[in-house]
């Protein structure tokens, strides 16, 4: 599991995290004998760490009350885990925390001994974390307030905006915050619906923590509930379409709700999310400008089906109303 020096440091970390820790628990966590735990404790005492203990059955250890060692000692794996975790924040849709993550990374670097700092820096430079498709930017401050409410088991109030832009006031007992499929969700009991529900954080507005408290259910698996719920919903597609018309000419014709419209190549790049691809395809055709579908592939398939239906309808119109160039002429031969 660890080399002996790492086991000694682990004993110190466990003692700092708990008021008292039994020798049996330390032995189990470190996968060593109780006698070996006694040697690790003695080593800490030799280093000047005031570890107090009582012997015998049920013996336990603790740090002298009031003693606190700053957490400046990290193993290489611990330091790398922290550094990569800070880098990964933006891939959880929390770009607003990027400055804080950079500052925390700088502080981490200052706490490491020079060889370890160089090692972590080299490993960071050797790793690239690509952005996952479909990651939705989430308000970090809103997430922080939500987590505060989860910790305190307090009801939250917010306005929730549906896919169609309709807003309803909600009061929810949130059991867990869950990140799944590039989005953050709140899972809990909705007072309005009188049932468990899940809510996307990017559709919440004006979240506030209420005075009302609740008792969360025991052993509730919010992730499993969310997966089961989402499997019953129509898929939400991430759409990226180039329109041969500048944004200014599309003003008033393209809804700004959950839609990103930016200039690109003499036209406009439209990015949005939709469940109904056929409805969106009809909307694009109604804009009356040339376009190119970059994603998703399913949208190109929808346009292909529409083109086939249009061709069939046009052919049927021609057969019914256009006699053609040979109509009324005697048959050849």
Domains along the sequence of the chain with CATH: 4-63 (1.10.10.10), 77-125 (no CATH), 140-231 (2.30.30.520), 237-319 (3.30.70)
At CB < 8 A and 24+ separation, what contacts does 231-238 make?
A: 234/275, 234/276, 235/275, 236/163, 236/273, 236/274, 236/275, 237/273, 237/274, 237/275, 237/277, 237/296, 237/298, 237/299, 238/133, 238/134, 238/271, 238/273, 238/295, 238/296
pTM of the model: 0.54
Distance from C-alpha of 139 to C-alpha of 81, rounded to nearest angstrom: 24
With 0-12 CB in 10 A as exposed, 13-18 as middle and 19+ as buried, what is 98?
middle
Residues 6+ apart with CB under 8 A from 206: 158, 159
Looking at the DSSP bridge assignments, the partners of residue 138 are: none
Distance from C-alpha of 68 to C-alpha of 51, rounded to nearest angstrom: 11
Task: For residue 207, give both structure tokens.
Answer: 């979240």
Q: Count CB-CB contacts under 10 A for residue 116.
A: 17
Distance from C-alpha of 311 to C-alpha of 304, rounded to nearest angstrom: 11
Q: What tens-digit pLDDT sequence spans the chain (333 residues)?
A: 455 667 787 888 788 777 888 888 888 888 888 888 888 888 888 878 888 886 655 678 888 887 766 555 677 777 778 888 887 777 787 877 777 777 777 777 777 777 777 877 776 777 767 655 557 778 888 999 999 999 999 999 999 998 777 899 999 999 999 998 778 999 999 999 999 999 999 999 999 999 999 999 998 999 999 988 887 766 678 899 999 999 989 988 887 666 889 999 999 999 988 877 888 898 899 999 999 999 999 999 999 999 988 888 888 765 444 444 333 333 333
């Amino acid at each position: 599991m660890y080399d002996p020096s790492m086991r000694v440091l682990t004993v110190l970390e466990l003692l700092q995290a708990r008021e008292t820790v039994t020798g049996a628990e330390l032995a189990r966590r470190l996968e060593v004998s109780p006698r070996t735990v006694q040697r690790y404790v003695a080593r800490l005492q030799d280093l000047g760490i005031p570890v107090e203990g009582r012997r015998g059955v049920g013996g336990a250890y603790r740090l002298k009350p009031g003693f606190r060692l700053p957490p400046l000692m990290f193993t290489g794996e611990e330091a790398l885990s922290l550094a990569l975790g800070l880098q990964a924040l933006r891939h959880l849709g929390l770009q607003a925390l990027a400055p804080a993550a950079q500052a925390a990374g700088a502080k981490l670097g200052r706490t490491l001994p020079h060889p370890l700092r160089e090692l972590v820096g080299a490993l960071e430079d050797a790793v690239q974390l690509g952005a996952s498709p479909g990651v939705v930017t989430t308000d970090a401050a809103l997430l922080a307030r939500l987590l505060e409410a989860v910790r305190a088991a307090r009801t939250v109030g917010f306005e929730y905006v549906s896919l169609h832009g309709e807003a309803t006031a909600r009061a929810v007992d949130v059991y867990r915050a869950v990140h799944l499929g590039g989005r953050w969700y709140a899972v809990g009991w909705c007072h309005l619906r009188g049932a468990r529900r899940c809510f996307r954080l990017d559709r919440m507005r004006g979240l506030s923590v209420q005075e009302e408290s609740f008792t969360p259910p025991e052993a509730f698996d919010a992730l499993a509930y969310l997966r089961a719920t989402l499997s019953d919903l129509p898929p939400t597609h991430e759409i990226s379409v180039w329109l041969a018309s500048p944004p200014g000419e599309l003003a008033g014709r393209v809804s700004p709700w959950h839609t990103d419209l930016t200039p690109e190549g003499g036209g406009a790049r439209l990015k949005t999310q939709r469940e109904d691809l056929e409805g969106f395809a009809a909307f694009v055709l109604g804009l009356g400008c040339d376009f190119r579908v970059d994603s998703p592939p399913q949208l190109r398939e929808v346009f292909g089906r529409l083109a086939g239906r249009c061709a069939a309808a046009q052919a049927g119109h021609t057969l019914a109303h256009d006699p053609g160039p040979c109509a009324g002429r005697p048959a050849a031969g």
